[in-house]
Amino acid sequence: MDLPYTESYRIKMVEEIYQSTPSEREQWIEEKEFNLFNLESQKVFIDLLTDSGTGAMSDKQWSEMMTGDESYAGSRSFHQLKETVQKLTGFRHLLPTHQGRAAENVLFSALVKEGHIVPGNSHFDTTKGHIEFRKAHAVDCTIDEAFDSQIIHPFKGNIDLSKLEKAYQEHGKEKIPFTLITVTCNTSGGQPVSIENIREVKALSDHYQIPVFFDGARFAENAYFIKEREVEFADWSIKAIVREMFSYGDGMTMSAKKDGLVNIGGFIALNSEELYKECGNFGIIYEGYLSYGGLAGRDLAALAQGLHEATEYPYLKARIGQIEYLGNQLLAYGIPIQQPIGGHAIFIDALRFLPHVPREEFPAQTLGIELYKEAGIRGVEIGTILADRDPETRENRYPKLELLRLAIPRRTYLQSHMDYIAVALKNIFDRRELIKTGYEITWESPILRHFTVKLKKKKK
Ligand code: F0G
């Protein structure tokens, strides 16, 4: 028999979590106007809102926290991080930032201008927000297979080269400052991008003289899928695959709150010295001096160690194994999820799960509220509320998929938590026919509305 997946660590410290009752939760979610972001965390039993900054650090990372160098300039911890990033990614220059969107803000301040087009595979919402805030457009060139949750494809994060070439031909290098490859592609379900696709994107982009950047938030998970699914790399180490992946880019933005295995942090890594200097100016204004970028020295040190741990095969096998374990249980119950199972989360296909709830009543949000009421589990809607309104027409945008994302924090929950989540969803699935109405918006902000939206139950 093959040995099953198992955690590559053991526990040294625990944190108690409160298991509330259904009637408490019914009252709490109504008080919070049906926005799961508004719930205080002690009212959540299993928090799957995000895998960002919610993981557990290792003993080695905590010891780095104690020995971090807090010097304003020239900190030893900065150099430790810079060397780690250089070795891991091959990029020469490093600018720390306080998180991923801050890296986007700094890089895009230098590169993205009004009227620009930024093609890529489904851009994450803050990325898109930073592009649209500058009156530029993000063009989604993800392969069509990604938009059907039931099609099995090993690399659903891949970029469709004909869509990309169309954008290149229409707008050219004058209007396209760069193409952005997000690894793994969060919005399409934590789906990986293959090296083959990255190579093709790079060749096409070179032909049109357009730089390629990575959004590397989950680069290590992407590398794991490459090792598992792309024959050429089956015998490569994760670190070697990571180096190969980034060798096709001019730079990257990073939310270290994911595959950096830290609770806060981010960075930009670049090859061009000129661009580094330009970004540095914005970095100093927005984030802090070049060698800390909004982070404490101890954060930089813990991140350097985290990047090392996140790119070790046994860790990734346990990490992805836990998500597959949950996904396979849901599939056994007949629950429609995005397939193949992604790297950091399970994405439930709410249009198939709740076919009676009309799209304008937000089926994925409706399912998220049901799951909270059922078991105190908090997921997040990746659907129409998140997709927001078109910046010009102000109409609701209906994405092809309406998903409830259950993001699994790294090294945080146990197998019994996965069993609990699966049973909670099965209970709702068994009574899905009774759920016929969703919610309507009573208040929303003009940008990134999902964080603060207020809702009320739609009357029958
Ligand atoms: N890029 C990707 C692919 C992301 O998933 C995120 C964040 C960011 C950039 C922004 O990074 O949060 O550090 O500023 N994703 C989180 C999530 C919030 O829940 O998926 P950040």
- Consecutive H or E run containing 80: helix 76-89
For 88-113, the pLDDT digits (tens) are 999 999 999 999 999 999 999 999 99
Extract the tokens encoding 233: 């790399």
Average pLDDT of the segment spanning 232-239: 98
pLDDT class of 156 with cuts at 50, 70, 90: very high
Specify the 3-state DSSP secondary structure of 90. coil
For residue 351, what are the domain limits? 22-51+323-457
Answer yes or no: 56 catalytic: no
Helix crossing, 195-207 with 161-175: angle to 10°? Answer: 40
> Residue 277: CB partners within 8 Å, gap ≥ 6?
none
Residue 416 is assigned to a structural domain of this protein = yes
User: Final residue of a domain: which of 310, 345, 367?
Assistant: 310
pTM reported for the whole predicted model: 0.95
121 close to ligand 1 (CB < 6 Angstrom): no
Extract the tokens encoding 457: 């139950």
At 28 the pLDDT is: 98
Please determine, for residue 258, whether its predicted confidence score (pLDDT) is greater than 80. Answer: yes
pLDDT class of 308 with cuts at 50, 70, 90: very high
The answer on 442 and 367 residing in a single domain is yes
Catalytic residue among 125, 259, 299, 349: 125
215 close to ligand 1 (CB < 6 Angstrom): yes
User: Final residue of a domain: which of 310, 332, 347?
Assistant: 310
Asked if residues 205 and 171 have their Cβ atoms less than 8 Å apart, the reply is no
186 close to ligand 1 (CB < 6 Angstrom): yes
Answer yes or no: 47 catalytic: no
At 392 the pLDDT is: 84
Q: DSSP letters of 226-265?
A: HHHH-GGGTTS-HHHHHHHHHTT-SEEEEETTTTT-SSS-
Catalytic residue among 124, 248, 276, 413: 124
Answer yes or no: 116 catalytic: no
Mark out the alpha helices in 266-405 (DSSP H runs).
273-286, 297-310, 313-332, 350-353, 363-375, 384-387
How far is the CA of 424 from the CAs of 16, 186, 447, in angstroms?
Answer: 20, 24, 33
Mutate to test the pocket of ligand 1, among 99, 124, 125 (most ligand atoms within 8 A of CB): 124
The answer on 276 and 194 residing in a single domain is yes
For 317-376, the pLDDT digits (tens) are 999 999 999 999 999 999 999 999 999 999 999 999 999 999 999 999 999 999 999 999
Total of domains in the chain: 2
Average pLDDT of the segment spanning 228-241: 98
CA 212 – CA 179 distance, rounded (Å):
5
The answer on 329 and 205 residing in a single domain is no
The answer on 265 and 363 residing in a single domain is no
Average pLDDT of the segment spanning 429-451: 94
The answer on 409 and 291 residing in a single domain is no
The answer on 66 and 46 residing in a single domain is no
Catalytic residue among 72, 333, 398, 451: 72
For 124-146, the pLDDT digits (tens) are 989 999 999 999 999 999 999 99
For 16-58, the pLDDT digits (tens) are 999 999 999 999 999 999 999 999 999 999 999 999 999 999 9
- Report the atom number in ligand 1 closest to the C-alpha of 215: 1
The answer on 82 and 35 residing in a single domain is no
The answer on 328 and 450 residing in a single domain is yes
The answer on 97 and 39 residing in a single domain is no
- The structure tokens 């998180």 sit at 99
The answer on 410 and 356 residing in a single domain is yes
Specify the 3-state DSSP secondary structure of 457. strand
Asked if residues 183 and 212 have their Cβ atoms less than 8 Å apart, the reply is no
pLDDT class of 388 with cuts at 50, 70, 90: confident
Residue nearest to atom 8 of ligand 1 (CA): 100
Share of the chain above pLDDT 90, in %: 92
Catalytic residue among 110, 167, 217, 223: 217
458, 456, 440, 459: which is closest to 385 by C-alpha?
440
295, 293, 308: which is closest to 259 by C-alpha?
308
**Amino acid (1-letter code) at residue 26:** E
pLDDT class of 441 with cuts at 50, 70, 90: very high
The answer on 332 and 237 residing in a single domain is no
Asked if residues 83 and 443 have their Cβ atoms less than 8 Å apart, the reply is no
Answer yes or no: 125 catalytic: yes
Distance of CA 97 to the CA centre of its chain: 17
What's the whole-number average pLDDT of the chain? 96
Q: Out of 26-35, 37-46, 254-263, 444-453, pick the least confident.
A: 444-453
CA 327 – CA 67 distance, rounded (Å):
40
Q: Which CATH number covers residue 352?
A: 3.90.1150.10
Specify the 3-state DSSP secondary structure of 330. helix
Share of the chain above pLDDT 70, in %: 100
User: Final residue of a domain: which of 310, 332, 349?
Assistant: 310
Greatest Cα pair distance, the chain, in angstroms, is: 63
The answer on 153 and 202 residing in a single domain is yes
- Report the atom number in ligand 1 closest to the C-alpha of 380: 19
391, 395, 371, 393: which is closest to 381 by C-alpha?
371
**If you measure from the C-alpha of residue 207 to the centroid of ligand 1, how many angstroms do you get, rounded to a whole number?**
30
At 188 the pLDDT is: 79
